[in-house]
Amino acid sequence: MSSRAMLCILLLVLCLSDSLSGEEPPAWVDARPQRVGGEYQVPVHVGPYITVIECEANLQPVVQAAIDDYVEQLIGPEARGKIRLPWSYIEQHLIRERFEERRLFQLTSTQQGEMTTLHVLLGFNQETNALIRGLWRQIVGLQRLFRVGIVFGSLIWIMTVVWGYLRLDLQTQGHYRWRLRTVALILLVAPFAVAGFFVFG
C-alpha cells in the first residue's frame, strides 16, 4: 500500500473520530470556570466511558466535587464538603447544558473503540448563593447548639458524680472515701475519654 493511501486512511480515521459526536463541542466545554452575566459557570467532565449510562452513573460525585470547590470560594475552606444540595435541585437549577462527545480512542495497539465523554455546564447564580449561605448558617447554628449541649451536659454529669460521691461518702461515714474518689474520678474521665477516642481515633 502506497504512502498516499496510508495518509488518506489516517485522515479518514481522524475525520471520523471528530465527527462521531455529530456536532462540534460548544465553546463552554473547553472554557475555564468564569463569571458570565449574572452567574458563575463551571464546566465539568465525566469520562471517557464506553456508554452514556456509565457517564451518568459517575456524574453526581464529579458535580459534588465542583460544588465543593465553589463553596470553598464563596464561604471559605471551613465550609468545604459540608454543603449537600439535593440532586433534584441541581438538575433543575444548576445544570445549564449537557453535551455528549463521542470519539474514537486507541484502546490497544491494534484496536480502536468509540468512547463517550459527558460534559455538563453548572451555573451558580444569586439564588443558589443565597441557598448555600443559608444552609451554611444552619450548619453553624447546629454546631454551636451542639457545643452548648456538650458543655451543659458535661456540667450536669460532673455535678451528678460529685453529688453522688458526697452522698455515699456521708452515708459510709468516710470509711470508703478513697475508693469512692477513685470511682468518681473514673466516672468523670470516662465519658471524655470515650468521646476523644471516637473524635480523634
State the number of CA atoms in the 13 A half-sphere of 74 facing the CB. 25
Query: Which pLDDT band, with edges at 50, 70 and 90, does 53 fall under?
Result: very high
Query: Which pLDDT band, with edges at 50, 70 and 90, does 8 fall under?
Result: very low
Query: Which pLDDT band, with edges at 50, 70 and 90, does 19 fall under?
Result: very low
Instruction: Give residue 9's pLDDT.
Output: 40
Q: Is the pLDDT confidence value at 16 over 60?
A: no
Q: Is the pLDDT confidence value at 1 over 60?
A: no
pLDDT digits (tens, 9 = 90+) for 162-176: 888 788 878 888 777
Mean pLDDT, the chain, integer: 82
Strands 95-106 and 112-124: antiparallel
Identify residue 158 by its one-letter amino acid code.
I
Burial 19-56 (b: 16+ CB within 10 A, else e): eeeeeeeeebbeeeeeeeeebbbbbbebbbbeebebbe
Mean pLDDT of 4-27: 52
Question: pLDDT > 70: what percent of the chain?
Answer: 84
Instruction: Give residue 83's pLDDT.
Output: 93
Query: Which pLDDT band, with edges at 50, 70 and 90, does 5 fall under?
Result: very low
Q: Is the pLDDT confidence value at 85 over 80?
A: yes
Question: Whole-prediction pTM value?
Answer: 0.66
Please state the domain extents for the chain: 16-124, 145-200
Least confident of 29-38, 57-66, 142-151: 142-151
Q: Which residue has the higher pLDDT, 22 or 133?
A: 133
Query: Which pLDDT band, with edges at 50, 70 and 90, does 96 fall under?
Result: very high
Pick the closest to residue 43 from 65, 60, 66 (CA basis): 66
Instruction: Give residue 14's pLDDT.
Output: 42
Q: Is the bond into 25 cis (omega within 30 degrees of 0)?
A: no
Kindly calculate the radius of gyration of the chain based on its CA atoms and give it in whole angstroms.
30
Task: Give the CA distances from residue 195 to residues 158, 179, 189, 191, 198, in Å, rounded to whole numbers and listed in that order.
Answer: 15, 25, 10, 6, 5
Q: Which residue has the higher pLDDT, 125 or 113?
A: 125
